[in-house]
Structure 1
Amino acid sequence: MARDFLMVGAGLSGAVVGRALAEAGHRVRVVEARDHVGGNCHTRRDPETGIMVHVYGPHIFHTDDEEVWDYVNAHARFRPYMNRVKTTARGEVFSLPVNLHTINQFFRRTMRPDEARAFIAEQQADRSILEPHSFEEQALRFIGRDLYEAFFKGYTQKQWGCAPSELPASILKRLPLRFNYDDNYFFHRFQGIPEEGYTAMVEGILDHPNIALRLNTVFDPAQVGEGTHVFWSGPLDGWFGYDLGRLGYRTLDFERFTYRGDYQGCAVMNYGDVEVPWTRITEHKHFAPWEHHAGSVCYREYSRAARPDDIPYYPIRQVAEKALLTDYAARARKERGVSFIGRLGTYRYLDMDVTIREALDSARATLAALKQGSRIPAFFHPPL
């Protein structure tokens, strides 16, 4: 028997779950507070230059999940794209992730891979730190003070608004150190960007006769009809009106500027020096190297603590936030008729491919619960 479902949010989570339920014959309504679908991976053509702009910051799709890769390619034409990040530090431009070129350039050496590995291990890395507890300790043990202070300390302080010694070691584990000249930022087999942007892809996912979409619509509990199950992809604490307090996020401010020509020669230029107030500059025409534009659109990015009216980007997940998260998650599990999904609904940092994987799994779990006559879970993927 067909059921009614309400997706709050037209980002990747709501779109993918809604599409799967619609294809199974259920009625799906999607409400979105913004004037576009796609959430923070929204893209649009810049009216001045015609460049495809990643409005809320750049998104490069990368995954080893073949099913997810096939899924997104069924809804958009992906073009190959390799993320090659550069960083300006101490008056020079270096390659990221830290690789053999970075090491040789920084130390003014011409080391081979085995020589560089031994050099870092024996002359740079702090092996007295046996069990790193902070980002700083992890960096000092992993790459040593010189590389850490040049490439990670200032950038991290600007990105997170606190000393790296106050951040967990797990953050740095996502940053590789390579002893070859590979400057591909990601390891994954499948990497690309949709030719017509992410918004067109999400519009394609939502294009189904069983899906009704309403933009510029703030969720109102009165919209939930009797027997309708809600999938909430908004902030977890927002479902409860933030009555226990707000979970902490970092947000981003963007300073747009244009340039006649090629401003920096790459899509992403980080700035590692703490004296430079922005974390990076993105030049968006380089995210679509198959296109050609005489002009250029660039954005300086500034990171700061999110205020109530800001767009939440990165969950902080420090001790205080995790304590508050525990309380909200316990309340959420007692709710009926609602499931919390996605980055905001579970207060976790998720790459796009993981978001889609979890959404597909959540939809399948929902269909299984309906078939078995059991309760649809509040969380398909626990926030803690």
Structure 2
Amino acid sequence: MKILLVGAGLSGAVIGRKLAEAGHECRIIDARDHIGGNCYTRRDPETDVMMHVYGPHIFHTDDEEVWTYVNGFTEFMPFQNRVKSTTQGAVYSLPVNLLTINQFFGKTMRPDEARDFIAEQADLTIEDPQNFEEQAMRFVGRDLYEAFFKGYTEKQWGCSPTALPASILKRLPVRFNYDDNYFFHRFQGMPKDGYTPMIQAILDHPGITVELNTTYSPDMAADVDHVFWSGPLDGYFGYELGRLGYRTLDFERFTHQGDYQGCAVMNYGDRDVPYTRITEHKHFSPWESHEGSVCYREYSRECGPDDIPYYPIRLVEEKALLEDYIAKAEATPGVTFVGRLGTYRYLDMDVTIREALDTADVFLSGVTSGTAIPAFVKSPR
């Protein structure tokens, strides 16, 4: 069969590879001038540092099959994300852990003492948290909330934390030990040579052709048996019902001779600091040595029509519009919506790959059985 995949990021590459290995003819197009989507990495010409051009991407997963998959296309190096936060005139360790608590409150508590202390700080009058702020206050109390969550959240989402659902904080954001590894997952690492070579290796198959600087037009679908769309869900329909809400990011790049901040990610929790964090890219490749350094100050704002969408907002208004687009998608034969933009969900890389592999399996099974291929293998709801 002839397959058109719109987008040369992880979703398009992984689906295309599996379908090509099954004997299908896969054409992958991308409007950008490079593969990899927002995972795109390249060497900075000034410092030779490996840059995460669209912001840092750290691979972490508990899915052993996905971990084996990516390691089949590149060499991964060990990497653990250890985030710091500058707030109220001091630097602390994140996630909030025993060191953070002791330093912030000027104490030397053991785990059991800290657990009891935080329980005393928590606002237990909030029995059923209705929003992000109430959830955080119920978990950690006002002091920690205002230092580490309130200002950062206001900058990241452009609204009061009282307007955000409590579900954003799904679990207690505190550790009562000195573990400052940001992620819990078994497998964590970075591709030694960046993500671009990994994705290039996935795309390296005689059944795959890649065309960059190529924008999708509806007439392309007439020449193929099926389309996989990893662009914005509303974009496929020309935004005819309105635009789904996203936050976008602006990066202010600057260089430094030496080590600028001593860590890969430094959050800024104070509301009066306009950026949410500074990332120093050479620390994402600690096996390399560079005299120079390249950093990004990261600013979050509302996404406009010409901006790159990063974070789906998914509040009440967006969810209502999303339902309308889901109905249109499910009534449109011959196209399957995939990935972060196609399903209007924030996805980590490992989940993106898992869903791409599963989507390819559903497609191949449908071809064999003669059943219709669904618009969504993973529901956006």
TM-score bucket of the superposed structures, by smaller chain: over 0.9
Deviates more, 1:228-237 or 1:164-173: 164-173
Matched, 1:210 2:207: yes
Q: How far has the Cα of 1:176 moved from its partner?
A: 2.9
Please tell me the residue identity of whatever aligns with 2:132: F
Question: 3-state DSSP class of the match of 2:170?
Answer: helix
Which of 202, 218, 221 is the aligned partner of 1:221?
A: 218
Q: How far has the Cα of 1:175 moved from its partner?
A: 6.7
Question: 3-state DSSP class of the match of 1:224?
Answer: helix
Q: Deviations over 1:15-60 (max 9, x none)?
A: 1001000000100000000011111111000000000000000000
Question: 3-state DSSP class of the match of 1:185?
Answer: coil
Instruction: Provide the rounded CA distance (Å) in 2 between the counterparts of 1:57 and 1:107.
Output: 33
Instruction: Provide the rounded CA distance (Å) in 2 between the counterparts of 1:338 and 1:174.
Output: 36
Which of 9, 25, 31 is the aligned partner of 1:11?
A: 9
1:88-107 → structure 2 map (5 Å cutoff): 88-107=86-105
Instruction: Provide the rounded CA distance (Å) in 1 between the counterparts of 2:47 and 2:109.
Output: 44
Residues 135 and 171, structure 1, Cα contact 8 Å, conserved in 2: yes
Which of 358, 363, 366 is the aligned partner of 1:366?
A: 363
- Deviating above 6 A after TM superposition, structure 1's stretches of 4 or more consecutive aligned residues are none
Residues 260 and 294, structure 1, Cα contact 8 Å, conserved in 2: yes
Matched, 1:286 2:279: no
Q: How far has the Cα of 1:224 moved from its partner?
A: 2.4
Matched, 1:192 2:167: no
Matched, 1:145 2:150: no
Instruction: Provide the rounded CA distance (Å) in 2 between the counterparts of 1:220 and 1:263.
Output: 45
1:126-205 → structure 2 map (5 Å cutoff): 126-173=123-170, 176-205=173-202
- For 1:29, the equivalent position in structure 2 comes to 27
Q: How far has the Cα of 1:318 moved from its partner?
A: 0.3
- For 2:303, the equivalent position in structure 1 comes to 306
Q: Deviations over 1:63-94 (max 9, x none)?
A: 00000000000011100000000000011000
Residues 268 and 282, structure 1, Cα contact 8 Å, conserved in 2: yes
Instruction: Provide the rounded CA distance (Å) in 1 between the counterparts of 2:144 and 2:344.
Output: 31
Q: Assess, with a 3 A threshold, how the Cα gap between structure 1 residues 175 and 9 changes in structure 2: closer, same or farther.
A: farther
- For 1:57, the equivalent position in structure 2 comes to 55
Instruction: Provide the rounded CA distance (Å) in 2 between the counterparts of 1:80 and 1:172.
Output: 28
- For 1:40, the equivalent position in structure 2 comes to 38
1:310-349 → structure 2 map (5 Å cutoff): 310-349=307-346
Residues 97 and 175, structure 1, Cα contact 8 Å, conserved in 2: no
Matched, 1:72 2:63: no
Instruction: Provide the rounded CA distance (Å) in 2 between the counterparts of 1:349 and 1:132.
Output: 23
Instruction: Provide the rounded CA distance (Å) in 1 between the counterparts of 2:183 and 2:124.
Output: 27
Q: Deviations over 1:282-328 (max 9, x none)?
A: 00000000000001000100000000000000000000000000000
Please tell me the residue identity of whatever aligns with 1:101: L
Instruction: Provide the rounded CA distance (Å) in 2 between the counterparts of 1:199 and 1:302.
Output: 24
Instruction: Provide the rounded CA distance (Å) in 2 between the counterparts of 1:211 and 1:198.
Output: 19
Unaligned stretches of 5+ in structure 1? Answer: none
Q: Percent identity?
A: 72
- For 1:241, the equivalent position in structure 2 comes to 238
Please tell me the residue identity of whatever aligns with 2:203: L
Deviates more, 1:139-148 or 1:166-175: 166-175
Q: How far has the Cα of 1:223 moved from its partner?
A: 2.1
Instruction: Provide the rounded CA distance (Å) in 2 between the counterparts of 1:310 and 1:170.
Output: 27
Instruction: Provide the rounded CA distance (Å) in 2 between the counterparts of 1:100 and 1:50.
Output: 37
Residues 4 and 224, structure 2, Cα contact 8 Å, conserved in 1: no
Instruction: Provide the rounded CA distance (Å) in 2 between the counterparts of 1:362 and 1:143.
Output: 40
Instruction: Provide the rounded CA distance (Å) in 2 between the counterparts of 1:62 and 1:227.
Output: 35
Q: Assess, with a 3 A threshold, how the Cα gap between structure 1 residues 78 and 175 changes in structure 2: closer, same or farther.
A: farther
Unaligned stretches of 5+ in structure 2? Answer: none
Please tell me the residue identity of whatever aligns with 1:269: M
Deviates more, 1:94-103 or 1:167-176: 167-176
Residues 139 and 172, structure 2, Cα contact 8 Å, conserved in 1: no
Matched, 1:256 2:278: no
Q: Assess, with a 3 A threshold, how the Cα gap between structure 1 residues 39 and 227 changes in structure 2: closer, same or farther.
A: closer
Q: Assess, with a 3 A threshold, how the Cα gap between structure 1 residues 270 and 175 changes in structure 2: closer, same or farther.
A: farther
Q: How far has the Cα of 1:225 moved from its partner?
A: 3.6
Q: How far has the Cα of 1:174 moved from its partner?
A: 6.0
Please tell me the residue identity of whatever aligns with 2:305: P
Instruction: Provide the rounded CA distance (Å) in 1 between the counterparts of 2:280 and 2:175.
Output: 26
Please tell me the residue identity of whatever aligns with 2:44: D
Residues 85 and 269, structure 2, Cα contact 8 Å, conserved in 1: yes
Please tell me the residue identity of whatever aligns with 1:104: N
Instruction: Provide the rounded CA distance (Å) in 2 between the counterparts of 1:288 and 1:220.
Output: 39
Instruction: Provide the rounded CA distance (Å) in 2 between the counterparts of 1:132 and 1:15.
Output: 41
RMSD over equivalenced CA pairs, Å: 0.8
Q: How many residues align?
A: 381
Q: How far has the Cα of 1:226 moved from its partner?
A: 3.8
Q: How far has the Cα of 1:172 moved from its partner?
A: 1.8
Which of 115, 120, 144 is the aligned partner of 1:117?
A: 115
